[in-house]
Amino acid sequence: MDISKLDTEYEFYKENSLPFRHYKYSEYNDVIKKHQHKSFFKFWKEEFSFEGRKINIIEYGTGAETVLIWSQMHGNEPVSTLSLMDCINFLCADYDSDRFLFNNLRIVMIPLLNPDGNELFDRRNAQGIDINRDARTLISPEARILTEVHGKVNPKFALNLHDQELYYTSKPLLLQTVLAMLAPECDDKKSVTPTRLRAMKVISEVYCKLRGLIEGRVARYTDEFTPSAFGDTFMEKGTSSILIESGSISGDKDRKFARKVVFLAIINALTTIANKSYEKQSSEVYNALPDNQRYNGYDLKINNLTVESPHGSYQLDLGIRRIKPSHNPEDFTDDFSDYRIANIGKLDTFGGIKVFDASGWKLCGNYTKIRMLSKADFDITDGNTILNISKLL
């Protein structure tokens, strides 16, 4: 199928019965049921999570090259599953047209590997295990299922789908990262084995195809050998593993744009694996991708605000970020609104989801209002207008 206009055709494939970021397991199951009777999808014997929720293993295609795809091993990263459900609709269309992917690939998919975590919007499984740190210990049934499926199909490629928090940025523009990809290391020497090089080339090809849509918002995920993670473990076993992390953009509560971008990344990855166009790529494009900078962005960045005080006046930048009600650093909830000052000073190397240039504006009232973790509800003025900065959020 011609995918050169897939960007504009996305709405046709989008799974409309799952419109929101937070979906219920029952809603997901209804979508699975819709596909279950289709002759071109082979549903393996179902497996079960720790609490007994069904985990589906769905196979598509009869081609020589095997690709294993799983989503949401972290329960609070649902966008990856939504993108994969959109991809399943694309595969239906592939079968009804020229069957290019069906004839060239054997795609084995495990959507929603952590259904118990999804119910609680928790990164971990019901035992409190991080499945992506359980690749060697296999304490969780979910890690055992993934390991068994991998062993059975021995895939040449694997796509490992995740969501990341809002505050990652990529250079040089320090915009929010919407797509971060990684060919994980397979040892602590950063070796580029033929297996890893293949993954790098696929990422390079996917980036080249999506560049126009996400330039300035794409990054290479943090590159360090994590032996207990699945991507690294499978890479060691000879599977070219590709980590795909979706982020977000300003105001996109349901992360719809990121969902679309990951859909496009998956379909482009499958297509380049099927037609082998990635073989012409080098690792240079991959190596030139900017780093994914964690916690380098703020919900609001105020630049060049003047502060007057009896001790002298000065200019500074402020980084404002929402403070989570829970102290759990793995909490990915987005719907809280306790905005506080999270950084003060010259913040040139940080990005803002929203940026306000306060040149010509000064703080109303006492300079001591500007303190770490002060509430973001103070006034500023340009001499004519008084603006409460909460209005900028």
Q: Which residues bind Zn ion (CB under 5 A)?
A: 74, 77, 162
Task: Name residue 268's amino acid.
Answer: N
Is the CB of 199 or the CB of 300 nearer to Zn ion? 199
Output the smallest distance, CB 116 to Zn ion, in A. 15
Output the smallest distance, CB 131 to Zn ion, in A. 9
The Cβ of residue 46 has, within 10 Å, a number of other Cβ atoms equal to 9
Is the CB of 74 or the CB of 196 nearer to Zn ion? 74
Output the smallest distance, CB 226 to Zn ion, in A. 12
Is the CB of 162 or the CB of 220 nearer to Zn ion? 162
Output the smallest distance, CB 303 to Zn ion, in A. 32
Is the CB of 226 or the CB of 374 nearer to Zn ion? 226
Output the smallest distance, CB 123 to Zn ion, in A. 7
What's the sign of the alpha-carbon dihedral 70, 71, 74, 75?
negative
Output the smallest distance, CB 187 to Zn ion, in A. 22
Q: Which of 271, 10, 272, 324 lies closest to 165, judged by CA? A: 324
Output the smallest distance, CB 49 to Zn ion, in A. 17
Alpha-carbon span 63 to 383, nearest angstrom: 69
Q: Which of 323, 316, 318 lies closest to 340, judged by CA? A: 323
- Detail the DSSP E strand segments found in 132-267: 157-163, 169-170, 175-176, 179-182, 218-220, 240-246
Half-sphere exposure of 275 (CA within 13 A, CB side): 14
Strands 218-220, 179-182: pairing kind: parallel
CA of 196: how far to CAs of 6, 102, 220, 240, 273, in Å?
Answer: 28, 25, 14, 6, 14
End-to-end, the C-alpha distance of the chain in Å comes to: 43
Is the CB of 74 or the CB of 209 nearer to Zn ion? 74
Is the CB of 126 or the CB of 363 nearer to Zn ion? 126
CA of 385: how far to CAs of 2, 101, 146, 380, in Å?
Answer: 54, 60, 59, 8
Alpha-carbon span 72 to 70, nearest angstrom: 7
Tell me the two tokens of residue 321.
């970020």
Q: Which of 378, 371, 319, 373 lies closest to 347, judged by CA? A: 319
Is the CB of 94 or the CB of 130 nearer to Zn ion? 130
Output the smallest distance, CB 223 to Zn ion, in A. 16
Alpha-carbon span 84 to 318, nearest angstrom: 38
Output the smallest distance, CB 76 to Zn ion, in A. 8
Is the CB of 230 or the CB of 257 nearer to Zn ion? 230
Is the CB of 6 or the CB of 199 nearer to Zn ion? 199
Task: Provide φ and ψ at 285, rounded to 5°.
Answer: -60, -45
Output the smallest distance, CB 7 to Zn ion, in A. 25
Is the CB of 104 or the CB of 246 nearer to Zn ion? 246
User: Contact 251/300 with Cβ under 8 angstroms?
Assistant: no
